[in-house]
Structure formats: C-alpha cells, structure tokens
C-alpha cells in the first residue's frame, strides 16, 4: 500500500523535478476520492534552506532523514549534477536503509546518480536524462542503462528520464499501486496524459561529430548535406580517400557506430525537422531524406524514435494558426 511518501533533498535541487513529486504526491486530493499521502520533505538539516537551480529560490525541508526509514516511497528529485560532487554519506545511508526496509525508491532525472551512489543501481536496469546516460553508465558499470525510455520500473526501484518524464514515472507508480482510476484522476487535475507512448529518443538530436581526421570530417559534413542521394560505404570511403576497410574502422572509432547506422540516424533527424517545420507530405519527406518511400520512412522512424511520423508531427509540428496568434 502506498501511504507514506518521503522526498529526500540533496544539498541543491532542481525545482521542476521537485515540483513534479510534490504535485503528484503532496497535494490533498481527498475531495476527488483519492487517498491522502503522508508527505514529508526531508533533508540533512531540517529547517535549513537549500538552494535550488533557480536563482533566488530556496526550499526548506521540515523533516529529517529518519522519516525515510518507514516510508513506502522515497523520491529523489533531480539536482544539478556535477561528476565530482560528493553526496553526504548520511543521505546515502538513509536511502539504502529505506530500500532495505521495503521502500520503493523513485528517481527523477539526475536523481539516479544519488541512487547509484547508494548502490541501488547495481545489477539493475535504469535510466536518466539522455544528456547523462553515458556518464551514468560509466560511473556505475554494474547498472544497465537504457537511454531510450521515459522510465524504468525495476520493482522497488523506478528511474525516470529527464524533467517531464518524472510525471510519467510518478503516474505509473500510482497506477501500479492504486489503480488506473487514481492515476487518471491525478493526470486529469494536472492536465497531462495519464500515460505517454514513445520514449526519450524522440527528444535527442545527433549533431555531426568532430573527428580527428579532416578527410573523415569533411565526408561527414558532405554526407549530411546530401542525405537525399544513395550512398554506399565504398563510395564514401573513396570520397575520404581511404580503403573501405580503413574507412569502416575509422568511422566506427570516431562516431561509435557504422556508416549505415549513422546515415540512417541523420536521415531520421532531417525527417524530424521536416515534420516539425514544414507541411510536406510523407512521401515528399521520404524522398528529401533519402528513404525513397513513405513506407521505408515509417519503418525506420518507428524503430528509431518509437512513434510513427504522423504522431510525431501531431506532437511537435508547428501549427500555422498558433504561429499567427
């Protein structure tokens, strides 16, 4: 049963992500027929204001870390992530202790790093903001970091991607523990969808990487400007004045992927921009991006982004009427 919710604050915090857990669990919604949560905002020193990432705003936790011990849910909001930043061992011990006593731990965005420092990510699947997934994987090599999803439910550990994905994770937990009706009621009051599809892949851009080889850099720039043309690895190797084998090896070393996969990702990125900024039909976009047909574009777009091109345009496309207002 989800009854007591404790939010643990680090020395600094990100306001939006903190606000998400307050909105879902901290408001009295008994008038809507929902249960009231025993909601505690906890810190190392109760009564001492903590700085936020928003200038001029501080948050003062009313409760100490002892409130975590009998909590059903411990929420860890995002905090300004600095790789060398040390987390007070008393906070880590309190989070570990709560987890060992049966609490579910939910992290929002970079809050996953605090869970990692507490040892909760070892041998677990997890996620964080796409900007930090590589750092998370490197810092906690025993964790399995999924860069594509909005959140990961690993039982007594739920980790969410960046910022608004915390809403998805919190509502998922409410749905899991209290049922769909409760999650839908909270979502309705927040004016958000009770459940989103897709993942954070749809929000990631892939710029042309800087390469140590000038010829490879020039080839990548040229390739990104001529995505509509057919390309083979042999042709690209010749343009870079390399053998096919050397080109493939250097390409993987510089970009971390194969020429075919990189080309596909750049074509998807262009398709996203055209879906956002133009009213071109799907066939025209497919030809402009080098896919050749709308069917092939739909196949690669769904697999890469997680949603169909038409749904992506509905969510992210600029509306002429709105722009004119």
Residue that has been written with the tokens 């109760």 in this structure: 46
Least confidently predicted of 25-39, 67-81, 190-204, 252-266 = 190-204
Bridge partners for 52 per DSSP: 13
pLDDT at 23 (0 to 100): 95
- Domains of the chain listed by start with CATH number: 4-201 (3.40.50.880), 214-321 (1.10.10.60)
Mean pLDDT of 244-254: 89
Say yes or no to pLDDT of 182 above 80.
yes
Which residues, including other chains, have CB under 8 Å from residue 117's CB and lie 6 or more apart? 87, 92
**Length of the chain measured in residues:** 325
Q: What is the pLDDT of residues 128-175, one digit of tens each?
A: 999 899 999 999 999 999 988 889 999 999 999 988 899 999 999 998
Q: Select from 153, 156, 92, 164 the least CA-distant residue to 127.
A: 153
Q: How far is residue 134's CA from residue 300's CA, in Å, rounded to a whole number? A: 24
Q: Give me the phi and psi of 153, to 5 degrees please.
A: -100, 105
Is pLDDT of 320 > 80?
A: no
Taking the C-alpha atoms of residue 225 and residue 186, their distance in angstroms, rounded to an integer, is 46
- pLDDT tens for 10-35 read 888 899 999 999 999 999 999 888 88
pLDDT class of 210 with cuts at 50, 70, 90: low
Strands 12-13, 50-52: parallel, antiparallel or unpaired by DSSP? parallel
Give the residue among 204, 208, 207, 209 at the shortest CA–CA distance from 130: 204
Q: Which of 19, 88, 107, 26 is nearest to 57 (CA)?
A: 19
Mean per-residue pLDDT over the chain, rounded: 88
Alpha-carbon torsion 18, 21, 22, 26, what sign? negative
The whole-angstrom separation of Cα 84 and Cα 61 is 25
Per-residue pLDDT for 249 more than 50?
yes
> Once rounded to an integer, what is the mean pLDDT over residues 58-73?
96
Share of the chain above pLDDT 90, in %: 59
How much is the pTM? 0.67
């Amino acid at each position: 049963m989800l009854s007591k919710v404790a939010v643990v604050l680090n020395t600094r915090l990100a306001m939006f992500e903190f606000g998400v857990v307050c909105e879902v669990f901290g408001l009295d919604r008994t008038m809507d027929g929902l249960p009231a949560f025993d909601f505690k905002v906890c810190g190392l020193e109760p009564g001492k204001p903590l700085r936020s990432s928003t200038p001029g705003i501080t948050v003062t936790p009313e409760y100490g870390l002892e409130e975590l011990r009998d909590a059903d849910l411990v929420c860890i909001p995002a905090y300004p992530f600095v790789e060398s930043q040390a987390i007070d061992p008393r906070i880590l011990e309190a989070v570990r202790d709560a987890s060992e006593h049966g609490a579910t731990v939910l992290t929002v965005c970079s809050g996953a790093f605090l869970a990692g420092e507490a040892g909760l990510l070892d041998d677990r699947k997890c996620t964080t903001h796409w900007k930090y997934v590589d750092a998370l994987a490197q810092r906690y090599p025993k964790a399995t970091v999924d860069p594509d999803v909005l959140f990961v439910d690993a039982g007594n550990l739920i980790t969410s991607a960046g910022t608004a994905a915390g809403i998805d994770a919190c509502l998922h937990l409410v749905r899991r523990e209290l049922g769909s009706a409760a999650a839908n009621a909270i979502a309705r009051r927040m004016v958000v969808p009770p459940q989103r599809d897709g993942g954070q892949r749809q929000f990631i851009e892939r710029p042309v990487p800087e390469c140590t080889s000038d010829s490879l850099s020039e080839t990548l720039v040229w390739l990104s400007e001529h995505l509509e043309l057919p390309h083979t690895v042999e042709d690209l190797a010749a343009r870079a004045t390399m053998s096919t084998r050397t080109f493939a090896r250097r390409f993987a070393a510089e970009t971390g992927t194969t020429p075919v996969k990189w080309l596909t990702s750049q074509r998807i990125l262009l398709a996203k921009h055209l879906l956002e900024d133009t009213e071109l039909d799907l066939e025209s976009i497919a030809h402009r991006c080098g896919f050749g047909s709308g069917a092939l574009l739909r196949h690669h777009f769904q697999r890469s982004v997680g949603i169909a091109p038409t749904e992506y345009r509905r969510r992210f496309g600029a509306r002429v009427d709105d722009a004119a207002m």
